[in-house]
Structure 1
């Protein structure tokens, strides 16, 4: 757990130091005066100081000369980005050199002033200041030691694990807040003790000197920051900390951060103002730059030392991410975090040198805005991730009516949430750019361009959302109509029409939504529509057959001519319809061959699956047979067929429909009958009936004519036909001496 929180430690420490680093602007830019004095007294003190007065006069003269020269110069052209960078680098170098040059001059003057000053007076003031420092720190340590028992009791209270989890966390939070409050009270009492010593023990009674006031203010600020560090990485107990870290990790980060806060805080809030007040403003600014540079270099060293540890922790966090985008982004951050941290520290230094008056508010505001934007972005992204991981659950009643609705919603929602996550990322990046660059996000949002862009984005989002909602409604309705459990078993025609309707709605929604979105973006879709019309006309002339296929297919469906699953004869092919599109018909014949027929080739359709069917049978008997007896046997065969459970439900007529003798053919007398069956069942019913007719005719001795063959053996010269000996296998000789053969 401690390893996972290493990046958080580094971020917290850098942010804590940012405020203290930026405080250098106050020391580098402010005049060395007593903050308790009124403004006119401060100005008088400035003018009485020879060094300060001379520096002020030189600056005013230089400003006047620069203004006059700038007024005579022609208006400079707009610089490029490279020119701005070069000018910034030049001003940074010149400013640094001028600061240190002025500091060296001020150091020489300060050395002369110290030489002229009375040594005993300086030593006496230093002794009194040392007394103030010692008393304040001793009181702080004594109060902290006295509060050790309270910290131990709070630590035991926070470590108690009995009770519900919410109660345990609430107790720990209250104990941590109580420890922080006790810590602040000890600092406040030590600060009051120091003020009492400064007012009533050392110096003039009731008066406080500048360096004493600066020390007490610096002491209060530094110790308050260290209280915040102790709340996060508490050394008062194992559980009196916000972050769940080990003692070793907490001690490491607290020691490093505490030292940096001590060095930067007392250096910038005590040493720099004291030098500026008693010696020289130029020297104080140079010392402030040295302190900031030293602290930033040390911070950069710490960043580089912990680069691999933080990278490993961030990469471990990336491996747990569900989204590939988040995983890649965090991995990139793990490899470049040290560069960003060093760039941030460098920005603090450059801003403090170039813009000492505005550095503190700018850095504080930019850092706060960046941290707030990143924190809110991470929080919203984490919330969205939790929503993505949770599947949408529908009630059993809805799942029964719409079996695919839950899967469809779970397919749409993650995409929408990912788009929302990208929008959050864009807002966070815009907020960071607004914080660190001249780009004003608020002004841009209220401008015409910003309002127009946001309006278009919202309109596009609403259009796409409405299109998806409409498609969801249509798809769910079609699903409901096709669901046998919800709305009854749909027939083949309904399934085919609903499938074609769904495809048509999908194509129409895509085309219309695309056109509306393009129009909303600002593209003129009139040329697109005109081009589409011309293209459609050209395609219509060049693909007349395709258009004919589509139109014929539409009318075939509207007229209920063919449905999927029907047995039809179309374009000379008889088979079962397996697939229908808006253009073609897919059929499989009796031999298993699949036929794909364009609708333009279907001129006549014979559908065997409409309402009912007939088995029409025409049976021939010999001329010597009795036709009435044959009809009796045909009816007997029909009655037997009706008794068969496999075919009883397929026969719709209770009596055999006999048409009588239909033809006196060359070799047979033909009798026609008809059986009414369920649509599509006439073929199996007919095959079963033929089998029974053959059995009944054979049992009754009724001949079913079949082709006969006459063998001619020729004649002799006298015109007589000699007999041919024929014998049957397994039989004896025939009467008259004529045998039978297999011939």
Structure 2
């Protein structure tokens, strides 16, 4: 409590000291006026009574009026218009005007202070000490009463604030910010009530216990009004930097940092507020306007030096805080803005302080209240913008998470929402920044927001922007709904089960068509909404389309053929087809072409205009057709029996049992070939299984024929040596391999014996 008492007295001590000196000014000013007025009146009377002097005065006045009409000022040379001066000369005039203004203010202050405290020997006392003491006592009594009542009510309200702080810290999740905002608003209401009760107490004491009953003195009224405004401003500061209650602080600051900035702003508000709202008016009323302006200048200079010093001392600390805050944001725009603010925040603060000081120097009578009100409005608008942005961030700034059941039914919906929601959040945040900027410009008189809003252009712009937002949101909602419905139909775990290949193809094409249609219609509606006549655009698009149609007949043929291929269900994704002379799996189907992957893995894009015939191997059912040759010496019926046995074994295999649709079909002998008798069989299978079934059946046929000793012939060669004219065959000089080996052994044996005898 002592700390709060010291902070409050810091703002009012100056008012008490200066008020004591100011109360003496009317007495001295009255004495000076009594000394100078009789001499001036007597001189004027003498001039008017003397006819010659009167005529001379009239002539001089007429000459001065004529000179003023010619030159614009009596005795002043013709000066160039400010609009015609160059920029350096205008800057020089402004600087010299500032210097002259400051010099005049200081001279006035010095003269007034000298006149108050300096008296000539033999003069009467400049003021009544008894009246001064009584006025100072009454004012001091009111000040002490108001301050004591304020701290008493704050002490009584402490449990209320502490309980609100505890409630605020219990919130979590997306409702935490809303909960904090509501509780802080409730605490601010209690703070305002405390200030109001202290203000009413001071009024009651000043009205019924001090001075005449039922009336307020000027000094007391000035202090009470200043107290009310300043303490309300401090209540607003406490909403942001509540140092004693962690749960009632809007800004995310540590307790020691919040206490530091709350103490700085409270001191600055008390010093400037009580000085400008209490001391300066009191000085201007009892001394002169120049004296009041001089005191105000001194107060603003002191406040400027103090505030600038604090800003420079905390330049690095605040910069680090902004940088650390930027790292917590996932949005690139927010990070960039916070990093820029970290680098230039002190420059902006000092620039604002300089502007306030210069405005005080130029127009001290009416500019300072305007600056204070504009500053208060700007802070309110910025705080409201930050609050709304924070609330929006609670709902749109985080990743959307769906329930497991919804993710199972619509696996792509969560990804789609997380792609669109951040964009919507950025747009909303941009709109908030623009609106806050317009309100701030309006508060400083740089932009008439209310006038612009009520104008035709403003209403049209806002209405158009709202309509555009609604159209975009509606189009986005329609696209998400249709895409989710298509995704639901394509999902084998939901809907009516696994979709057919035709359904997959048509739904995929329908999704692309829906995207193109929604985009085109939305673009047309938006262009019409913003005032662009789309009639010529549609006509031009039609002419352009006709020209493109003539120039791109191949493309048109591709599209038309592709439409009929899809309508006739000639192929679907996953089918094995032959199109354009290429056989492969159809991996991708568009309205213009088909992508085929052949057996070697090569991917082919076949335009539909080059497709004359589509051979689809995946429709309804398929056949494995096999021809098996046996030797001429084998029994055909026995071979057929073993072919059926191989099929029965294949049908018993669980891997292929479901793929066989009918029993083995034996067509019979199809050819008596050069080396074999060919028997044809046909196996009916599910589409796509004919190749696997054929390979498995060939394996079993080979095994059964081998087990039964049935020969699968290979090519035979007959050697013909010819014959003589008489029909006899010529001798064939043939040697068997075994005979050749024996002869070679006999030839080598005598040579080895001779070598042995020689040894």
Q: Partner of 2:222 in structure 1? A: 217
SS at match of 2:493: helix
Counterparts of 1:689-708 in structure 2 under 5 Å? 689-700=697-708, 702-708=710-716
Q: 1:479 Cα deviation (Å)?
A: 0.8
SS at match of 1:587: strand
CA deviations on 1:544-600 (whole Å, 9 max, x unpaired) are 333322222222222111222222223333333333233322223333333332222
Counterparts of 1:477-516 in structure 2 under 5 Å? 477-486=485-494, 487-516=496-525
Q: Is residue 381–residue 421 contact of structure 1 (8 Å, CA) maintained in 2?
A: yes
Q: Is residue 650–residue 657 contact of structure 2 (8 Å, CA) maintained in 1?
A: yes
Pick 1 or 2: higher relative contact order, CA cutoff 8 A, min separation 6: 1
User: Structure 1 296/378 Cα, relative in aligned 2: closer, same or farther at 3 Å?
Assistant: same
CA deviations on 1:454-502 (whole Å, 9 max, x unpaired) are 1221222122222212211221121111111112111222212222222
Q: Is residue 154–residue 175 contact of structure 1 (8 Å, CA) maintained in 2?
A: no
Counterparts of 1:42-191 in structure 2 under 5 Å? 94=97, 97=100, 101=104, 104=107, 118-119=124-125, 121-132=127-138, 151=155, 158=162
Q: Partner of 1:305 in structure 2? A: 313
User: Structure 1 161/399 Cα, relative in aligned 2: closer, same or farther at 3 Å?
Assistant: closer
Q: Partner of 1:671 in structure 2? A: 679
Counterparts of 1:559-598 in structure 2 under 5 Å? 559-598=568-607
Q: Is residue 165–residue 246 contact of structure 2 (8 Å, CA) maintained in 1?
A: no
Rounded to whole Å, the distance in 1 between the matches of 2:598 and 2:686 is 21
SS at match of 1:484: coil
Q: Partner of 1:372 in structure 2? A: 380
SS at match of 2:211: helix
Q: Is residue 95–residue 353 contact of structure 1 (8 Å, CA) maintained in 2?
A: yes
1:276 to 2:281 alignment: no
Match of 2:322 among 314, 320, 331: 314
Larger mean Cα displacement after TM superposition, 415-424 or 293-302: 293-302
Q: Partner of 2:696 in structure 1? A: 688
Match of 1:288 among 296, 301, 320: 296
TM-score by length of 1: 0.74
Rounded to whole Å, the distance in 2 between the matches of 1:347 and 1:195 is 40
User: Structure 1 313/49 Cα, relative in aligned 2: closer, same or farther at 3 Å?
Assistant: farther
Cα-Cα RMSD: 5.3
Q: Is residue 566–residue 609 contact of structure 1 (8 Å, CA) maintained in 2?
A: yes
Rounded to whole Å, the distance in 1 between the matches of 2:347 and 2:226 is 29
Match of 2:450 among 435, 442, 452: 442
CA deviations on 1:159-178 (whole Å, 9 max, x unpaired) are 999999669x9999999998
User: Structure 1 530/724 Cα, relative in aligned 2: closer, same or farther at 3 Å?
Assistant: farther
Q: 1:130 Cα deviation (Å)?
A: 4.6
Q: Is residue 158–residue 240 contact of structure 1 (8 Å, CA) maintained in 2?
A: no
Q: 1:126 Cα deviation (Å)?
A: 4.0
Q: Is residue 103–residue 282 contact of structure 1 (8 Å, CA) maintained in 2?
A: no
User: Structure 1 508/120 Cα, relative in aligned 2: closer, same or farther at 3 Å?
Assistant: closer
Q: 1:379 Cα deviation (Å)?
A: 0.6
Larger mean Cα displacement after TM superposition, 543-552 or 687-696: 687-696
Query: How many residue pairs were aligned?
Result: 671
SS at match of 2:716: coil
Q: 1:431 Cα deviation (Å)?
A: 0.8
Rounded to whole Å, the distance in 2 between the matches of 1:470 and 1:47 is 88
User: Structure 1 372/83 Cα, relative in aligned 2: closer, same or farther at 3 Å?
Assistant: farther
Rounded to whole Å, the distance in 1 between the matches of 2:215 and 2:645 is 135
TM-score by length of 2: 0.72
Rounded to whole Å, the distance in 1 between the matches of 2:446 and 2:36 is 39
Q: 1:240 Cα deviation (Å)?
A: 11
Unaligned runs of 5+ in 2: 1-6, 16-24, 28-32, 42-63, 74-79, 172-179, 743-759
